[in-house]
Structure 1
C-alpha cells in the first residue's frame, strides 16, 4: 500500500546569513555616529568629483574658448606692448611702475624723461571691445642686456575667443605706434672723397604739412613718391629701370629744398647732398657716388644750373661759366641714366632758372617729373598765417592779412613771409599791422 507524500503548509524562513546582514544594516542605520561618517564620506566623494569635473571643465574651456599671449623682456616688443597697455588702461589701473632715462650731453646739459608702465601684478583693460587680463610677473633670475643686469619679467595676456590673430594684430599695432612715436631724425650725408659720410647729428624731422604749397602740389608729390617706392615689382616685370628723377624749379625761397627734406622725413629716407660745383668732383667720382648712395636715401643736386647751362644758350661759352666744374656734361648724363646706373635710386635736382638747363638733361628718363614752386598765392598766405598763429581769431586775421598783402601788388616768397612772422611770433595783430615792413626789402 503506497503512502501519500506529506505536504507542509509552512513557508521556508529566512536563512541565518540573510538575517545576520539584515540585523547588521538595521543596527548601523540606527547608529548616529555611523550615519554622520557615511554622510561626510559621501560629501567628500561628491566634492572631489565636482572639483575634478570643474578642473577638467576649466581646462577644456581655456583650451577651446580662451587665447593667451606671453612675452618676456628679452623681446624687443616687450616695452612697446607695456606702453600700449598703459595707454589704454590709464583709467583702469592704479598700479604703475616708473622707467626713468637720463640724457646728458657733452656740454653738461641734462634731460630727464620718465615713462610709466603697468606695475607687477594683475590688470584688466579693454581693447577692441574685449576685456583682457594682464599678468606681469618678475622672476628671481636675472638677464644681462646692453651691459645692464635686469630681472627677468614676463607678461601674459588672456582674453575670450579663439582667433589668435587678435593678439597678432594688437602686437603689430603696438609696434607701429612705438615706431611712429620714436624720436628719429633726418640723416644728412655729404660726399667726402669716394664715400658718403654722415654729416653731423640727425636733424629734427620736418612735418610735411609745414611746407605750404599752392593747391594740391604737396599731396600729388607725396602720392607720386609713394607710388614709386611701392612699385619695384612692376618695374622689374616690365624691364624698366627702377629710378626716378625730379626737377623742382622756381624763384628762390619758394620751398624747393625744404620740401625735399620734409618729403624724405615723411617716408623715413635720408638725404645725400652733392654739389656739382665742387672742384674735386670729376666724372668717375660722380658716377661712383650716384651708384653707391646709402639705402633708403635721396640724392639732391642743388642749383644744377650753376654747374651747367644749356648748349643752346648764347651765354654757355661766356668766360664766367668756364671752369666751374671738372664734371663734363656727358659724364653727368651717363651718371644719371647710363648703362652702369644703380637701381632703386631717387634723384632731385633744383634750380632757380630752368630755362638755362639743357633739354637733354631734363628729358624723361633723367627727369620724370617737373614741378614749379612759385611765390605765395592768396591761398598759401592764408594757410601760412593760420598755421603760424594758432588762435580762434586766426581765420578773420588771416583774411585781413591776405587782403592787405594783395593790395601791394608785389609777389612775395614763402621764405620772406615766414621771416616776417618770426618777427612777431606771439602777436598776430602786430604781424598784420606791420605788413609794410615786408616790402621794404623787395
Structure 2
C-alpha cells in the first residue's frame, strides 16, 4: 500500500489532473458567483425599457435619439469635464427618412433625417449613459405600418424609472414641435390608423367663405360640445356628435372641415367605406381607435350606402359577392353598443335624398347643414379676398354675375368662382371682362 501511494504521488499526470480539476471547480464556482452577482445587480441597479414598433412612441424615441446625438456633440465642444470626455459610441448602422417640405413660393425642399439603424450602441441623456439596441424580426410584420416588427430597448444603470418617463415626455415634445401649426391626416391601414404623408399647413378658418353665419354657427356648436363632456356623462348621454354637410360638388364642404380642424387644433382621420377589405368588425375597431383630438371624415357617404329602396333595385339575388361592410354594421359602429365615446364624425354628401333615413337620424347625425352654391354674399366676399380694397369693382362683378345667372338659369359653386379668380389673378379688370367664361 505504501508503495502504491508513493507511485501515485510521484505520477505527474495524476497530479496535473487534480490541479485541473481544482481549477475547473474553482472556475465553475466563480462563474456561478458572477452570474448570481449579475442577476442581483440587474435586479437592483439595471433597468430597461422596451418599446415595440406598434407603440406610438416608437418613431418619437427614434427621432429623439437621433437629435440627442447631435446635442451631445455640441455639448462636448463646450464642456471639458470628465463626463463629456467619455465619448458615446454612435450607431454603427443608420436608417434614413426623407422629408419633402413645401416653401411659401411653391417650391419644394428636402431633408434627410438619420435615425439609429438595426444594431446596438451607447447614448447619453442628461448625464446618464444608455445602452440602446434596435432589433428586427425577419418573419413578423407590424400591421400598423406594414413594416417588419421591430423593438427598441434602452438599458441603463439606475434605480430611477422616471428617467424613462422623462425620455418619453421629451421625445413626445420634440414630435409635437414638428406638428405645431400643422394638420395631420390619418388613413386606415389594416385595423389601425397611419399618418398619411407629412403634416400639412393648417388652413385659416376664414379662408373658406360660406353663406352668412354658417361657418361661425358650426364652429360654436363643436366648441360647445367639446366643453360639455361632464354634462353628457351625468345624464348618461353618449358623448359623441355627428355632422352631415350636404350640397352640390365644389361648394366647400371638405375645405370647411379642414379649416375647422385647423381652428380647433384637431387632426383628421379619413375613412373610406368603399376600401377593399372593409368589414363591419374592422370599421367598429377603427372608430374605437381614433387618435386623440381628431375628426373622423366620411366623404361621399351616399356612394357607400344609398337609400334602401335604391340599394334593393340595384342588387340582384344572383350576386355571389355581397359587400363586406353592411349598412347595419355602419349604424352599429356609429351608435351601437360597441361604438366609442368622445368622438366627432363629419359626413359629406352631394345627394342628401340618396341617404337612408336610419343613417341620418338624431344620435347618428346631430347636425345637418346645407353648403350650397354661392350666394351674393359669398360672391362679393370671395372677390374681396382675392382683390382687396376693390369694393366698387366687386359690385360691378356681382351685378354681371347675377345678370348672366338670371338669363341662363344657372348657379355657380365656390370652386368655379375661385378657379376664375386664380386664372385672372394678376388683373382685376380681366376678371370682370371674362365673367361669361364662368358659364361656358
TM-score, reference length from structure 2: 0.58
Give the corresponding residue for 1:200.
197
Partners of 2:324 and 2:262 lie apart in 1 by 32
Give the corresponding residue for 1:430.
430
One of 261, 272, 275 as aligned partner of 2:272: 275
Partners of 1:236 and 1:310 lie apart in 2 by 33
One of 173, 185, 189 as aligned partner of 2:186: 189
Partners of 1:215 and 1:316 lie apart in 2 by 40
Residues 378-411 of structure 1 deviation map (CA, whole Å, 9 limit, x = unaligned): 1100000001112x3x111111111111111220
CA shift for structure 1 position 320: 9.6
Going from structure 1 to structure 2, the CA distance change for 1:249 and 1:106 (only over 3 Å counts) comes to closer
Give the corresponding residue for 2:392.
396
1:300 is aligned to 2:297 = yes
Going from structure 1 to structure 2, the CA distance change for 1:105 and 1:257 (only over 3 Å counts) comes to closer
Going from structure 1 to structure 2, the CA distance change for 1:324 and 1:349 (only over 3 Å counts) comes to farther
Stretches of structure 1 lacking an aligned partner (at least 5 in a row): 1-103, 112-142, 148-178
Residues 212-241 of structure 1 deviation map (CA, whole Å, 9 limit, x = unaligned): 101110110010010001111111111110
Partners of 1:106 and 1:303 lie apart in 2 by 30
Give the corresponding residue for 1:370.
368
Q: Is the 8 A contact 1:246 1:347 kept in 2?
A: yes
Stretches of structure 2 lacking an aligned partner (at least 5 in a row): 1-97, 102-107, 112-124, 130-175
Partners of 1:426 and 1:302 lie apart in 2 by 34
CA shift for structure 1 position 312: 3.4
Partners of 1:229 and 1:259 lie apart in 2 by 18
Partners of 1:273 and 1:106 lie apart in 2 by 22
Give the aligned length.
271
| Mapping of residues 251-330 of structure 1, within 5 Å | 251-313=248-310, 316-319=312-315, 325-330=323-328
Partners of 1:235 and 1:366 lie apart in 2 by 16
CA shift for structure 1 position 349: 0.8
The RMSD of aligned alpha carbons is 2.7
SS of the equivalent of 1:412 reads coil
| Mapping of residues 137-148 of structure 1, within 5 Å | none
Q: Is the 8 A contact 2:99 2:198 kept in 1?
A: no
Q: Is the 8 A contact 1:276 1:325 kept in 2?
A: no
Q: Is the 8 A contact 1:309 1:316 kept in 2?
A: no
Residues 282-331 of structure 1 deviation map (CA, whole Å, 9 limit, x = unaligned): 10000000111001101011101001111134x64215998684211110
| Mapping of residues 30-429 of structure 1, within 5 Å | 109=109, 183-313=180-310, 316-319=312-315, 325-390=323-388, 392=389, 394-409=390-405, 410-429=410-429
TM-score, reference length from structure 1: 0.58
Q: Is the 8 A contact 1:272 1:298 kept in 2?
A: yes
Q: Is the 8 A contact 2:241 2:363 kept in 1?
A: yes
CA shift for structure 1 position 424: 1.3
Partners of 1:377 and 1:190 lie apart in 2 by 34
Partners of 1:366 and 1:237 lie apart in 2 by 20
